Chains A and B, each alone.
Chain A
Amino acid sequence: QSALTQPRSVSGSPGQPVTISCTGTSSDFGGSVYVSWYQQHPGKAPTLIIYDITVRPSGVPDRFSGSKSGNTASLTISGLQAEDEADYYCCSYAGSYTVVFGGGTRLTVL
């Protein structure tokens, strides 16, 4: 399994929207809806923020949203806040009960 491709870094100003992409092959995504996103603050464990491409777990702010087009999934944060500064990882089901993570994206709030 090769890692999904994410930009190494993105940035945005408070209140602005930002989008993080996650690109894989058809074998990674399998034309499926099985994509999730995780937020990781420094020194902390990752936490789930989106699953099944678009579903937000209870407690996750609605400024976080997910989408997918072809072999690219995207995480959009509308109305950036200072506490959104973190690393973000996508993850996809890759067949035979395996999963693959993206390389991670560092989000900087300017």
Chain B
Amino acid sequence: QLQMQESGPGLVKPSEILSLTCTVSGGSITSGPYFWDWIRQPPGKGLEWIGGMHYSGATSYNTSLESRVTISVDTSKNQLSLKLRSVTAADTAVYYCARRCCYFDSGSRPNWFDPWGQGTLVTVSS
């Protein structure tokens, strides 16, 4: 059974870079028709999709965050990573990684998430 686990600093200073890693176990990040995504949830608020990518390189980002976000995969470590630059208090949230189905070719519409990691809280504060 595929599992996903987020890791990284729980506290980041304003204007710095938020960096998180998601380790995938029980399956390969290069197998199957999947995007590998990041989603966040500010305390007491709803879900916000950040972006995701297929190991082949196809990538997509939320237009509201695109200028500050980079998502990448390390196939040798079976990991997904997130970098969010120039953070502010508004970036304080629980960050989830999740697998998104299904991407077969350029005409595909990957749209549903399963499974999700347990989430990690990142607080932006000096």
Please list the residues of chain A having a beta carbon within 8 angstroms of any beta carbon in chain B: 1, 3, 32, 34-36, 38, 44-48, 51-52, 57, 89, 91-93, 96-104
Contact = CB atoms under 8 A, between A and B. Distances in A.
* B interface residue count range (under 10 / 10 to 19 / 20 to 34 / 35 or more): 20 to 34
B26 interface: no
Contacts of B36: none
Nearest to A52: B112
B103 to A, nearest CB: 8
B113 A97 contact: no
Interface of B is mostly: strand
Residue of B49, B60, B62, B111 ringed by the most chain A CB atoms within 10 A: B111
Nearest to B100: A99
B63 A91 contact: no
26 contacts: A1-B63, A1-B64, A3-B46, A32-B109, A34-B112, A35-B111, A36-B112, A45-B117, A46-B47, A46-B96, A46-B113, A47-B115, A48-B113, A48-B114, A51-B111, A51-B112, A93-B111, A97-B52, A97-B59, A97-B60, A97-B109, A99-B49, A99-B100, A101-B47, A104-B46, A104-B47
